[in-house]
Amino acid sequence: MSKVDPVKVLIIDDDQAMISAISSAITRKLEGEHVEIETAPDGVTILYKLEQRQAPWDVVLLDVDLPGISGPRLLDQFRESGATASVIMLSADASATTAAACMRAGAFHYLTKPFKPVELVDSVVSAARHSRLRRSLVLPRTITETNTKIVGSSVPMRQLRAAIERVAEQGVSVLIQGESGTGKELVAQAVHDRSARKHKPFVAVNCGAIPESLIDSELFGHAKGSFTGALTDRAGFFVEAEGGTIFLDEIGDMPLAVQARLLRVLQEQEVRPVGSSSTKKVDVRVIAASHVDLNHAAEQGKFRKDLYYRLNVVVLTIPPLRERLEDLPDLAARFMQAHAGGAPITVNSSALDAMMNYTWPGNVRELQNCLISAIAMRTGDIIGVESLPPHIRKVRGSMPIPLPELEGDEQLSLVEAKRRVSQAFERDYLQQIMQRAQGSVAEAARMAGIDRTNFRRLLQRHNIDPLSFK
């Protein structure tokens, strides 16, 4: 959940003792989080608010047995009103039939009284994330691009946006630090777009992708005939960015000799094309970025200290995705809107929890690629955990597993419901551990604590081919 935006929870129950117990559990377990709790003894006043389209809640804890209007009927009203709140049903009825009926009617989850506080809070946290995703998916797509490039409402991202606003107007050199895939070019573009140079060119250069033999020519230009293949004059990136901004990405990969010439360009504000005897004045703002610690690289002699000091006027640091997971629902919604081709796609709670439990070493870029893959692999308009890449599928820890879907008027006993859930869990676990073992049955059996023969039987029972994981 966001550490800034309050999570709004509504508890509807006619048992005041139960309301107090739920409120206490949520506030105690989520101490330090911004949670606003509203309560109601019945659904009548809530029904009026739904009719007036006044439903600001993220999570609703709704008792099945209510006076006036029953919990299931009120659940129907939540769905018909278009409210984005995730509704968790509460009941002392442990039968699978009642639970399945609520889930089919659109409940996010079903908890049987008495429930453990940790089970309750985990459900609330997951439900809040899902509500945020649903809200983001229904946002108008006409929002200006300037406001949508840098997504996230977490504390680090709010601080980053505030820093961008301050530094953009200053005109000083900026150094952007962040792991690969965090969006360093987006930040550089945002600085440019908010500066006085916004109507001039923004030129992005990946220093690590240019061969050492060509980087001088690419950056500073060359004169015709200065080397084999130089058939015409070339202006170079600095001249192309005249009046605007040049973004030097992965500057830590720039050869030391080129670093010396870049330093001179920054000091003299002029470039000398390769093979030319004359110089050209340039008015360019430089924004550099690196996924390595340039200060440490300078101490090791791998980066020029004088160039580092020249670039290190203002530092903007982008946090990795694993340190701002509360932004993942908004990011996921943005990528689905961008890559679903207009289809009304959403992510179910199991898939969202799986993504929240993953560490994302490739950061936002990996999340984007994951969702592009999931969109392609989905069945229908909902991305389930089975649509995610195998290495991202995770067991959700203490989160309750959703009940199995029922067809038509099918009735399930508790025993049969447990059997189906157990089978689904077992198959997902086997696929996950085979992925980690890279298709080695012996290694996977060792990790699972099962002898190899029995492990092979489990694979055969679930039609899992070990070769598909190699």
Cα gap 137→361, rounded to integer Å: 25
Residues 6+ positions from 321 with CB-CB distance below 8 Å: 181, 182, 327, 328, 331, 360, 363, 364, 366, 367
The residue with tokens 């060359």 is 222
Tens of pLDDT, residue by residue over 357-398, are: 888 888 999 999 999 988 988 878 888 888 888 888 754 443
User: Where does 124-212 show beta strands of DSSP type E?
Assistant: 174-177, 202-206
pLDDT at 429: 78
CA–centroid distance for 277 within its chain: 51
Beta bridge partners of 61: 11, 88
pLDDT at 54: 78
Q: What angle do CA 183, 347, 7 make, to 5 degrees?
A: 80
Element holding 196 (H helix, E strand): none
> Which domains does the chain possess?
7-137 (3.40.50.2300), 155-318 (3.40.50.300), 324-469 (1.10.8.60)
**Which one-letter amino acid corresponds to residue 343?**
A
SS3 content of the chain, % helix, strand, coil (to 5): 50, 15, 40
Cα gap 206→254, rounded to integer Å: 10
Q: At what angle do helices 328-339 and 349-356 cross, to 10 degrees?
A: 120
Question: In the structure encoding, which two tokens stand for residue 84, read together?
Answer: 């984005």
User: Where does 218-279 show beta strands of DSSP type E?
Assistant: 245-249, 270-271
SS3 258: helix
pLDDT at 288: 95
241 touches 248 (CB < 8 A) = no
pLDDT at 337: 86
pLDDT at 411: 61
The pTM assigned to this predicted structure is 0.68
Residues of the chain below pLDDT 70: 1-4, 31-32, 138-148, 225-231, 394-418, 470
pLDDT at 113: 87
**What percent of the chain is predicted at pLDDT more than 70?**
89
pLDDT at 200: 95
pLDDT at 399: 42
pLDDT at 367: 93
